[in-house]
Protein backbone atom coordinates (compact mmCIF):
# COMPACT_ATOMS: atom_id res chain seq x y z
CA UNK A 1 0.00 0.00 0.00
CA UNK A 2 1.17 3.51 -0.80
CA UNK A 3 2.05 5.39 2.38
CA UNK A 4 3.63 8.52 0.89
CA UNK A 5 2.39 11.88 2.09
CA UNK A 6 3.14 15.21 0.45
CA UNK A 7 3.66 18.10 2.85
CA UNK A 8 3.42 21.57 1.29
CA UNK A 9 4.82 23.84 4.02
CA UNK A 10 7.17 26.82 3.81
CA UNK A 11 8.22 26.93 7.47
CA UNK A 12 11.18 24.55 7.98
CA UNK A 13 10.41 24.00 11.68
CA UNK A 14 6.78 23.07 10.99
CA UNK A 15 7.84 20.82 8.12
CA UNK A 16 10.44 19.06 10.27
CA UNK A 17 7.99 18.40 13.13
CA UNK A 18 5.29 16.98 10.85
CA UNK A 19 7.85 14.90 8.93
CA UNK A 20 9.37 13.55 12.15
CA UNK A 21 6.02 12.54 13.64
CA UNK A 22 4.76 10.94 10.45
CA UNK A 23 7.98 9.07 9.60
CA UNK A 24 8.02 7.74 13.15
CA UNK A 25 4.64 6.21 12.26
CA UNK A 26 5.85 4.55 9.04
CA UNK A 27 4.80 7.17 6.51
CA UNK A 28 7.12 8.23 3.69
CA UNK A 29 7.32 12.00 3.31
CA UNK A 30 8.00 14.19 0.33
CA UNK A 31 7.80 17.95 0.60
CA UNK A 32 7.59 21.28 -1.13
CA UNK A 33 8.12 24.71 0.37
CA UNK A 34 5.83 26.58 -2.02
CA UNK A 35 2.56 26.02 -3.83
CA UNK A 36 3.92 25.78 -7.37
CA UNK A 37 6.40 23.03 -6.46
CA UNK A 38 3.73 21.33 -4.36
CA UNK A 39 1.34 21.12 -7.31
CA UNK A 40 4.12 19.70 -9.48
CA UNK A 41 5.00 17.09 -6.84
CA UNK A 42 1.35 16.10 -6.43
CA UNK A 43 1.00 15.68 -10.19
CA UNK A 44 4.20 13.63 -10.55
CA UNK A 45 4.18 11.33 -7.52
CA UNK A 46 1.93 8.59 -6.21
CA UNK A 47 0.71 9.93 -2.88
CA UNK A 48 -1.75 8.90 -0.20
CA UNK A 49 -2.62 12.43 1.01
CA UNK A 50 -1.54 16.06 0.87
CA UNK A 51 -0.90 18.18 3.97
CA UNK A 52 -1.30 21.78 2.87
CA UNK A 53 -0.34 25.00 4.59
CA UNK A 54 -2.52 27.96 3.60
CA UNK A 55 0.04 30.77 3.95
CA UNK A 56 2.53 29.97 1.20
CA UNK A 57 4.79 32.05 -1.02
CA UNK A 58 3.81 32.64 -4.66
CA UNK A 59 0.27 31.22 -4.45
CA UNK A 60 -1.65 30.50 -1.26
CA UNK A 61 -2.94 27.12 -0.15
CA UNK A 62 -6.47 27.93 -1.27
CA UNK A 63 -5.27 28.35 -4.85
CA UNK A 64 -3.12 25.23 -4.56
CA UNK A 65 -6.18 23.22 -3.49
CA UNK A 66 -8.27 24.68 -6.35
CA UNK A 67 -5.63 23.68 -8.89
CA UNK A 68 -5.13 20.22 -7.41
CA UNK A 69 -8.87 19.56 -7.53
CA UNK A 70 -8.90 20.34 -11.27
CA UNK A 71 -6.73 17.26 -11.85
CA UNK A 72 -9.01 14.20 -12.12
CA UNK A 73 -6.11 11.94 -11.08
CA UNK A 74 -6.06 13.67 -7.69
CA UNK A 75 -9.84 13.65 -7.06
CA UNK A 76 -9.66 10.94 -4.42
CA UNK A 77 -6.47 12.16 -2.71
CA UNK A 78 -7.33 13.75 0.64
CA UNK A 79 -6.13 17.31 1.11
CA UNK A 80 -5.67 18.23 4.75
CA UNK A 81 -5.19 21.92 5.51
CA UNK A 82 -2.64 22.28 8.31
CA UNK A 83 -2.63 25.97 9.06
CA UNK A 84 -2.45 28.78 11.53
CA UNK A 85 -5.38 30.39 9.71
CA UNK A 86 -7.95 29.99 12.43
CA UNK A 87 -10.26 32.94 11.97
CA UNK A 88 -13.99 32.62 11.47
CA UNK A 89 -14.61 31.36 7.96
CA UNK A 90 -11.08 30.05 7.27
CA UNK A 91 -12.02 26.44 7.86
CA UNK A 92 -15.10 26.75 5.67
CA UNK A 93 -13.01 28.38 2.92
CA UNK A 94 -10.53 25.47 3.04
CA UNK A 95 -13.36 22.97 2.59
CA UNK A 96 -14.93 25.09 -0.16
CA UNK A 97 -11.76 24.90 -2.30
CA UNK A 98 -11.41 21.16 -1.88
CA UNK A 99 -9.82 20.31 1.46
CA UNK A 100 -11.09 17.16 3.17
CA UNK A 101 -9.67 17.98 6.58
CA UNK A 102 -8.47 20.90 8.69
CA UNK A 103 -5.90 20.93 11.49
CA UNK A 104 -4.95 24.13 13.30
CA UNK A 105 -1.36 25.04 14.13
CA UNK A 106 0.38 24.74 16.40
CA UNK A 107 -0.17 21.03 15.91
CA UNK A 108 -0.53 18.76 18.91
CA UNK A 109 2.26 16.14 18.63
CA UNK A 110 0.19 13.70 20.72
CA UNK A 111 -2.80 13.70 18.35
CA UNK A 112 -1.40 14.85 15.00
CA UNK A 113 -0.78 11.43 13.44
CA UNK A 114 -4.17 10.08 14.53
CA UNK A 115 -5.86 13.15 13.03
CA UNK A 116 -4.05 12.58 9.72
CA UNK A 117 -4.98 8.88 9.72
CA UNK A 118 -8.61 9.82 10.46
CA UNK A 119 -8.79 12.12 7.43
CA UNK A 120 -7.05 9.58 5.21
CA UNK A 121 -9.46 6.83 6.25
CA UNK A 122 -12.43 9.17 5.88
CA UNK A 123 -11.37 9.95 2.31
CA UNK A 124 -11.04 6.28 1.31
113 falls within a domain? yes
22 falls within a domain? no
**pLDDT band at 88, cuts 50/70/90?**
confident
More confident residue, 84 or 88: 84
23 falls within a domain? no
Average pLDDT, integer, range 55-76: 95
Q: For the domain that residue 94 is a member of, what is the CATH number?
A: 3.40.50.2300
SS (H, E, C) the chain: CCCEEEEECCCHHHHHHHHHHHHCCCCEEEEECCHHHHHHHHHHCCCCEEEECCCCCCCCHHHHHHHHHCCHHHCCCCEEEEECCCCCCHHHHHHHCCCCEEEECCCCCCCHHHHHHHHHHHHC
* Residues of the domain holding 98: 4-16+28-123
109 falls within a domain? yes
Is the pLDDT confidence value at 86 over 70? no
Domain count of the fold of the chain: 1
Average pLDDT, integer, range 102-110: 95
Amino acid sequence: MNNTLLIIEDNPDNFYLMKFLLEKNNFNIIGADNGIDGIEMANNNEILAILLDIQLPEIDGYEVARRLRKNPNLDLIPIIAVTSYAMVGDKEQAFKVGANGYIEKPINPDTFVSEIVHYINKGV
